[in-house]
Structure 1
Amino acid sequence: MKIFQTRRGALRLTAAALAISLGATGAMAQTKGGTLNTIVQPEPPLLVLGLNQQSPTQYVASKIYEGLLTYDPDLAPQPGLAKSWETSEDGLTYTFTLQDGVTWHDGEKFSSADVVFSVDKYLRQVHPRVRPILNTYLESVTAPDDQTVVFKLKSPFAPFIQLFGTDNMTIVPAHIYEGTEFATNPQNQHPIGTGPFMFESWERGSAITLVKNPNYWKDGLPYLDKIVFSIIPDSASRAVAFEQGQIDVLRGTDVDPVDVSRLENLDGVEETTKGTEMYSTITSMIMNERELPFSNKQVRQAISYALDRDFMVQTIFFGIGKPATGPISSTLPFYDGDVPKYDYDLDKARELIKESGVDLSAHPVKILDYPYGSTWARLAEYVSQQLKQIGFTVDIEATDAGGWAQRVGNFDFDTTFHFSDQFGDPAIGVSRLFVTSNIVKGSPFANNAGYSNPEVDEIFAKAASSTSREDRQELYTEAQKILVDDAANIYLFENQNVTLYKDSVHNLITSGVGTNSNFETVYIDDAK
């Protein structure tokens, strides 16, 4: 039987194991139908993956769209829209055989032509993580027939097989998007995918509703009839809605950390930190390094000394998290904690400001608030206070999720925060934030800081192409030391996401992407 560990230390059976232990007739009789009530926070600007990669968009749209593969909790690839795949001995050719009988939500047939279009035209243009990888490594993607797709690489890219999930290699319908302006296509307001759930409605400021796809290519799935993502702006109100039974699921960012310990101890509530293995998220403070004061390395180092990471985790986030040491999470392969240390030291910070020669009074800065709730507002207030203690003049600017994405994507900010997902390998989730080639406008998840170091560019390129794990470790160790010394970002803490859910909900966390899975096997036990 498969088990997983919760934060309270109890071992809990997965729904699949429970069904076996109880007997299929008793458990499976209750798998069909029902509505799952959950939260999307904040309200996403749109629901088309690729065009937007913010967390709320991923959460909702991962039920609508699909990728060629999915990934289990150990991040091993599993069939998705592809039923099988082969890799050549030289690591340059990947051949995928697609599932039979797949249709888009509008009834059109899904084929290899959709995959070729999505990868070679759509994602190459719009996706902030995948675009630089495709443009650097992909020589061609072709369709020998309707059921086969062949990827040929210019040179090896070690984690290429990790790219094919919904959040990276999203497959979109060619018949909807080909020959159009992707960002302004009217169909963006009514997304069409191949997934187990279809878009039904979006009442702005109220709720997004998805309904069961009656023609889903997996027989008998999904179990649920409907998923409702309620939009509740106030964190306290979200907690009350869960407590009163109006909401079945809360993700880690849906309520303030102070409420998590109270809610997880309620009767009939389960919790887990599983399901974030693919992401290994780190929160950083990013700065616009194109001009003073943040173009000066000593100023950036001073800020790193001025921030107490333990205080952030323990006081602002109520112990949910872990201080970060650098750009790679400690849960990710190739992490190395032997990097320059920035212990909390205001005197050292002031000394570095003095040595920098930068007149901070001539360069007032604004912190663009991170629009994910009151906890993040408190983080901005804390950072503002600390910056003022070392000589900065600081204001805080409020914004919503769409405004934040637009401002950061257009480099229209002084400093802000972001939590970045690492996707199982630094070549996918980390290098994109620092390589010079990814300083591109239009996405908030590229190298928005404008950091540029040719040595780092070369290291990341070598590490991505190397087939030797030892060589990759050596290269990533070197990159971490440089990026920490340069204070390319201010690395704050590793996020820990706690998912809370009613014990009537089963199969919620079944993969390495957690609640960003497609929920095809989620069901509600009406007897609870």
Structure 2
Amino acid sequence: MGQSLMKKFATSVAFAAALGAATAVVPASAETLRMAWSQDATGLDPHKQTAFSSLRLLELVYEPLVRLNADLEIIPAIAESWEFSEDGKTLTFKLDADAKFQNGEKVTPADVKASFERVLDEATGAAARANFTSIESIDTPDETTVVFNLSQPDVPMLTAMTSINAAVVPASEIEAGTIGTKAIGSGPFKLDSWEPNQKEVLSANPDWAGGEVKVDGINISVLPDETAILAALRTKQVDFALINDPLVATLVPNEASLELSRTPVLAYHVLQLNPSREPMTEQAVRQAISCAIDRQDVLDTALLGEGAVTGPLTMPAYRSDPGALFCYERDVEKAKQLMAEAGYEDGFSATVIAATGEPPTAAAEAQVIQSQLAEIGIKLDIKMMELNVYVDTWLKGDFDMAVALNGGRADPYSMYNRYWTKDGNLQHVANYIDDTLDSLMQEGRVETDFDKRKEIFSKFETHLAEVSPWIWLYTGYTYTAQQKNVKGFVPSPTGTLFGLTEVSVGE
């Protein structure tokens, strides 16, 4: 890191610290966890939200049928047990009889059915709809049983159901049309108030069927940047914080009163191309971009090397050596040759969009990529956007290129089918599909043998890297910082903050 950057950063930290007394940190009782982050939720509808900042909030309020633990194992949530039929075409859940929504209503099979019917309704615009298209019908034979009847065996269905995008919401709220205007889930905390980009106040849900949380509530302050978060931690105005910027995270261990948690995540940084726009319609151009990108340099410059270069598959069970993928070793001469073959030896101009703050490294990533692509004649204009504007633009597929941080999943199919299948609900964001990708995804969906599934998805990854609709860059870490009297938080590769249910605040 250059001395000027370090000096600038140290100055900003000192300035934030000097303003510590004026920082808008939410007050709390001794039994309340005072928390901070720099990016706030963009909405409250768990079925529609894609921003990490939204999911981190909503997973404390809502619950899916099942969830993943820190070892990526499927464990109970609203459902206490589940079973696939022998032919794989029926998935039956038994609900926890004690599960209640935060309005006092019992969670019923009717709520589960209504929730998934809402997800499957194209008019909803649900983020995870493509994960559940094999559901033909849903039966509710008694007060605790839900039966999903499938059109075909669907191995990754259960993993897909662990997402907060598959949260169970009250049927009464769906009927009233209030989903997204208020948050009523069955999770460990109630959302008492939300002042966008300022604060959230949550209280412990005494009716949570998952057990008793160890704090009375969580008061979340949305601070202007992560230097302000570090200042608030230093002055003990904040007990616990979510850190996204590795530059800030590396400073936390220097503070005697603070502890840093650092965990590799499944989420991936990616340069998304739009193959529906010229000249990205040309495979040779997309491949040239892939060959021109030095992924390790982007990682080292933007993320201080805090991560690992990755291919499309980031989950440990399926991850492979990305060095075997197409053009993962930078080759500028090959990139220039491909540009010439496509008729663009003189290059072209394009715009790349990036969000301010999520990830905090987005601007730096875009600048490094801009510099690297200039070597093959591509003039890249960087357009920074506020997160909510970026998300709307991204969901419309209205970009030439986009710097993105996308969520990972424990299963390749549930991670990618919404982009790389012909009926994927985010195909309009990916803007690319071919028969090979679609058929391999379908094969992996129904195959039950793990070794065969791994082989199928290895072929999928190899082909995806070769046709290069996106340029996968790297995976990073999730960071949380806390006062040493905060105990019990367990981080997860999914980046979830659900581990706050185990946190206690001591003296």
Indicate whether the TM-score tops 0.5: yes
Q: Is the 8 A contact 1:313 1:323 kept in 2?
A: yes
Question: Residue 113 of structure 1: CA displacement?
Answer: 0.5
Counterparts of 1:455 and 1:40, CA distance in 2: 41
Q: Does 1:466 align with 2:447?
A: yes
- How far apart are 1:123 and its partner, in Å? 4.8
Partner letter of residue 53 of structure 2?
A: P
Report the counterpart of residue 8 of structure 1 in structure 2: none
Aligned to 2:142: 145
Aligned to 1:241: 232
Is this contact kept in 2: 1:508–1:514, CA < 8 A? no
- Contact residue 333 and residue 424 of structure 1 kept, 8 A: no
**SS in structure 2 at match of 1:117:** helix
Is 1:263 the equivalent of 2:244? no
Q: Which residue of the partner structure matches residue 333 of structure 1?
A: 318
Q: Would the aligned equivalents of 2:422 and 2:433 in 1 still touch at CA under 8 Å?
A: yes
Equivalent residue for 2:273?
287
Q: 2:167 aligns with which of 167, 170, 193?
A: 170
Matches within 5 A, 1:313-328: 313-324=299-310, 326-328=311-313
For 1:184-223, what aligned pairs fall within 5 Å after superposition? 185=178, 188-218=180-210, 221-223=212-214
Match of 2:482 in 1: 501
- Tell me the CA shift for residue 450 of structure 1: 0.4
Cα pair 1:67 1:81 within 8 Å, conserved:
yes
In structure 2, do the counterparts of structure 1 residues 519 and 236 end up closer, same or farther at CA, with 3 Å as the change threshold? Answer: closer
Aligned counterpart, 1:104: 101
The change in CA–CA distance for 1:316 and 1:518 in structure 2 (over 3 A counts) is closer
Cα 1:521/1:496, change in 2 over 3 Å: closer
Comparing 332-341 and 388-397, the one that deviates more? 332-341
Conservation of the 8 A alpha-carbon contact between 2:84 and 2:90: yes
Q: In structure 2, give the amino acid aligned to 1:249.
A: F
Shift of 1:66: 0.6
**Where in structure 2 are the equivalents of 1:121-520 lying within 5 Å?**
121-125=118-122, 126=124, 130-135=128-133, 137-178=134-175, 180=177, 185=178, 188-218=180-210, 221-253=212-244, 256-274=245-263, 280-324=266-310, 326-329=311-314, 331-333=316-318, 335=320, 337=322, 338-358=324-344, 363-371=348-356, 372=358, 374-438=360-424, 440=426, 448-509=429-490, 513-517=494-498, 519-520=500-501
**CA separation of 1:118/1:453 partners in 2, compared to 1, >3 Å: closer, same or farther?**
same
Matched, 1:46 2:32: no
Aligned-pair RMSD on alpha carbons? Answer: 2.3
Alignment of 1:523 onto 2:494? no
The alignment partner of 1:393 has SS state of strand
Contact 1:62 1:518 in 2 (8 A): no
Alignment-mate amino acid for residue 391 of structure 1: G
1:67 aligns with 2:64: yes
C-alpha offsets along residues 187-226 of structure 1, whole Å, 9 cap, x if unaligned? 523211111211111223311111122333345x122122
Deviation at 1:453, TM superposition (A): 0.9
TM-score by length of 1: 0.84
Q: Cα deviations across residues 474-499 of structure 1 (Å, max 9, x unaligned)? A: 21121111111111210111222233
Distance change in 2, residues 1:373/1:154 (3 Å): closer
Residues 32, 215 of structure 2: 8 Å contact kept: yes
One-letter code of the match for 1:327? P
Question: In structure 2, what is the equivalent of residue 16 of structure 1?
Answer: none
Q: Tell me the secondary structure at the aligned position of residue 193 of structure 1.
A: coil
User: In 2, Cα distance between the equivalents of 1:511 and 1:382?
Assistant: 29
- How far apart, CA to CA, are the structure 2 residues paired with 1:451 and 1:249? 41
Alpha carbons of structure 1 residues 166 and 448: separation in structure 2 relative to 1, 3 Å: closer
Q: Which is richer in strand?
A: 2
Residues 357 and 54 of structure 1: CA distance in aligned 2, closer, same or farther (over 3 Å): same
- Residue 35 (structure 1) aligned with residue 32 (structure 2): yes
Q: Aligned partner of 2:312: which letter?
A: P
Q: Deviations over 1:313-341 (max 9, x none)?
A: 222211211112x2112624264643223
Task: For residue 502 of structure 1, report the CA deviation from its aligned partner.
Answer: 2.1
Q: 1:237 to 1:109 in 2, by over 3 A?
A: same
Give the Cα–Cα distance (whole angstroms) in 2 for the partners of residues 127 and 69 of structure 1.
Answer: 22
| 3-state secondary structure, aligned to 1:108 | coil
TM-fit CA distance, 1:251? 2.8
SS of the aligned residue for 1:419 comes to strand
What residue is the counterpart of 2:16 in the other structure? Answer: none
CA shift in 2, pair 1:146/1:375, >3 Å: same
Q: 1:79, 1:94 → 2: CA distance?
A: 15
Change in 2 beyond 3 A, CA 1:151/1:518? farther
Q: Aligned partners of 2:242 and 2:112: how far apart in 1? A: 31
- C-alpha spacing 1:461/1:334, structure 2 compared with 1 (3 Å): farther
Q: SS at the partner of 1:495?
A: strand
In 2, distance between residues paired with 1:447 and 1:242?
Answer: 42
User: Partner letter of residue 361 of structure 2?
Assistant: T
Report the Cα distance in structure 2 between the residues aligned to 1:408 and 1:360, rounded to whole angstroms: 29
Q: What is the distance in 1 between the residues matched to 2:262 and 2:153?
A: 34
Shift of 1:388: 2.4
- Contact 2:37–2:229 (Cα < 8 Å) also in 1: no
State how far apart, in whole Å, the 2-side matches of 1:415 and 1:401 are.
16
Say if 2:126 and 2:165, in contact at 8 Å, map to a contact too.
Answer: no
SS at match of 1:161: helix
- Indicate how the Cα distance of structure 1 residues 514 and 449 shifts in structure 2: closer, same or farther if over 3 A, else same: closer
Please say if residues 301 and 487 of structure 1, whose CA atoms lie closer than 8 Å, have aligned partners that are also in contact. Answer: yes
Contact 1:249 1:502 in 2 (8 A): yes
Aligned AA (1:84): S
Q: Give the superposition deviation at 1:107.
A: 2.3
CA distance in 2, matches of 1:162, 1:127: 21
> How far apart, CA to CA, are the structure 2 residues paired with 1:512 and 1:397?
30
Query: 1:17 matched to which residue of 2?
Result: none
Does the CA-based 8 Å contact 1:40-1:230 persist in structure 2?
yes
For 1:499, give the aligned amino acid: T
Q: Do the aligned residues in 2 keep the contact of 1:306 with 1:387 (CA within 8 Å)?
A: yes
> Which stretch of the first structure deviates more once superposed, 303-312 or 60-69?
303-312
Aligned residue-pair number: 476
